[in-house]
Amino acid sequence: MKSNLLNFVLLVLIALVLLGVFTLFQSPHLNLTGTEIPYSQFINDVDQHKVSGVNIKGNEIRGEYGGGPSFMTYAPYDPTLVDRLQRNGVSITARPEDGLHWFVSLLVSWIPFFVLIGTWIFLSRRNCKKAS
């Protein structure tokens, strides 16, 4: 009975480690919709009335050309950007940046490490008991 429980715990720990590693290495850059363009090209396209709408989230700008493909760019600090977009008839949607509290971010990034160390200690103790 005790052996089955230990095997189950080991299996759960391995699954958690694999899930943690997958989450850790999953890149947010793979979730891009549209092509990434330089900010200078974005400004030129806005001035030429090619851009129909934008979604601004932090310094990330995602948008659509009038009836065409979508794009994505990153904006430096530009206090005139919103005025420029409004002057050129661009529909603006703004959302707050998805920022986690620094403690939560730190905890999430360290969880796979702690699970890996815990699994290693568990397996080491288990092998030491079998050798005795």
- pTM, rounded to two decimals: 0.53
Measured distance CA(26)–CA(20) in Å, rounded: 10
Is the pLDDT higher at 53 or at 112? 53
The string of pLDDT tens digits covering residues 59-75 is: 899 999 987 788 999 98
Span 114-132, average pLDDT: 75
CB 127 within 8 A of CB 39: no
Architecture in CATH for domain 32-98:
2-Layer Sandwich (3.30)
Residue 99 Cα to chain centre, angstroms? 10
Is the pLDDT higher at 37 or at 23? 37
